[in-house]
Amino acid sequence: MCGITGWVSWTKSLSEQSPVLENMTNTITHRGPDSIGTWLSESAALGHRRLIVIDPEGGKQPMVYYEGPYAITLSYNGEIYNFKELREDLIHNGHHFKSSSDTEVLLHAYLEWGEACIERLNGIYAFAVWDERIEQLMLGRDHLGVKPLYFANRDNDIIFGSELKAMFAHPQVDPVIDKDGLSEIFGLGPIRTPGQGVFKDIEEVRAGHYVTFRKEGRKEEQYWTLKSHPHPDDLDTTVSTIRSYLEDTVTAQLVADRPVVSMLSGGLDSSGLTAIAGKDFSKEGKKLATYSIDFENNEKDFEKDFLRVDLDEPWAEKVSKHVGTEHKSIVLDADELAENLLVPMRARDLPGVGEIETSLYLLFKEMEKEATVALSGESADEVFSGYPWFHQDEFLEADIFPWLLNMRGMSSILSEQLKEKLDLPSYQKERYQEALDEVPVLEGESDLQAKQRRMSYMFITRFLPFMLDRKDRASMMTGFEVRVPFCDYRLVEYLWNVPIEMKNIDGIEKGILRRAFEGYLPEDVRYRKKSAYPSTKDQKYLERVSQWMLQILDDPTSPILPFIDVEKVRSITEGKSESIHASSAKGLLDYLIQVNAWLKEYDIKVIL
């Protein structure tokens, strides 16, 4: 994986702007610690940081192809899993290649098919192509939004980057936030609106979209979307199709010139992928390495709750033994989590989900010592409708995003002045209605089926991008690549139309996936109930963040103070609140600490 950034201008010369471009590119060194590349012309400046995974010599970027005097230049982040098939097609059409990299295949795909090349890609990617022939910049992003990409228009100059920090290194882009941005931060939390860059006049290329810019203006196209139609296959065919997709995509995603490992929680999703990958490894006489995460005193402190039914570690060890992997459990303590709380915020340039995100970062930091690429079970719950919310009336009947029902504590601690200026309930309902209007309806469904389809759409298009972004930023902060086989768009669009009754065959969530993994996993592992990503129960962590929050409240210069009800937050922090305590308090304090640091470190100007 890599980081990309750049700047295009139709009105000024950029050929002497190397210092600005290098500053932008160096802000994302963590995404590509292996090398830096820059390319400048009269109208365009493209930067690239590279993490070498495939073809160390042949995949250098930005990559340039000349057609006569005109340069077509690519800066690309990601992996194209079907690049070998595309390469064969392109060779058949007369193209010649100097390397074995997927980068060169993408560039030649653009040369052959233009903007339509993006419709032929299967992978995780974000890329920029500057085409001097027509003086056009194209920004493209993968189907589900695994790889990030932002842009801003400043005086008809287009500035873009994998991360917001790359854009803030440009003299024309300042970190300014207005009412909409604050509504995202305090009204939606970390699960934000697709396309919303949060900062004023900064946008995100939406998943499944590309944007082109010329002197005359911009054009945005959606090249992929979910389409509803009756599911044509019977149960056995559906199971075998799912199994076939997963075997195919896991094999494709094991391709790398650097070590590949697998995340293994002992849950259904990561266990099944590990079993498929382990089988592929054994065919080549190799042994797959797997990693899980645990917390100090977790066995002593663990308490069963709505999302976590049992401990992961015994299950991870069982699957490792069954598949034959070399397994490591990374054990974290409360001090490590507290000391690194702000690292994920700095990785995404926005407040996130606290210690759950911090633990991911620390896990990847350990994994990166022995590998460069990992497989992850991310997104299975979204595309297989595996969350409990799909089956509970409270969430199915809600007129806002279902996860916001669990965030009511946030609105209760905001200052009255902020509440009056933002009108967060209206903002939440407007964003929900936007998503609702996008849902591709299927005629003839029952009322319950229609509600479950809407719920599925919310999770795939709103919740999943947050989960993917969380994993991308936490991994890339350590120069480590994570691949997500369940995000193969072919699998996602196939599952979109599988009836939820079939998905939950055998009376259990993701029952059809459990059937697809038959023969790969022990029976008790296949039918283990879902347990969410682990979270520390160590009281010491809550004590650490509580002390931190009290310091913020006692410091009159803390930038968050005008936005919160200080006495309510103090009550929660001191454990005196009757409505918010324990794990809810921990999550809230994590978030507020990040917001305060974000406002301060990024020197954000707030316009209300």
Residues making up the binding site: 102, 293, 376-377
CA distance 540 to 533: 20
Binding site residues for ATP, as ranges?
A: 293, 376-377
Alpha carbon 518 to chain centroid, angstroms: 29
- Secondary structure class of 430 (helix, strand, coil): helix
Query: Which one-letter DSSP state was computed for residue 336?
Result: H
Bridge partner list, 202: 152
The per-residue b/e assignment along 295-333, b for 16 or more CB within 10 angstroms, e otherwise, is bbbbeeebeeeeebeebbbebbbbbbebbebebbebebe
CA distance 16 to 43: 11
CA distance 199 to 215: 24
Q: Catalytic residues, which ones?
A: 2
According to DSSP H, which parts of 114-234 are helical? 164-168, 179-183
Residue 516 corresponds to which tokens in the numbers above?
């697809």
Residue with tokens 């993408």: 106
Exposed, middle or buried by CB within 10 Å (0-12, 13-18, 19+), for 16? exposed
Output the CA torsion sign for 279, 285, 291, 297.
Answer: positive
Binding site residues for L-glutamine, as ranges?
A: 102
C-alpha distances in Å from residue 234, one per residue of 237, 241, 606: 5, 11, 55
Alpha carbon 352 to chain centroid, angstroms: 12
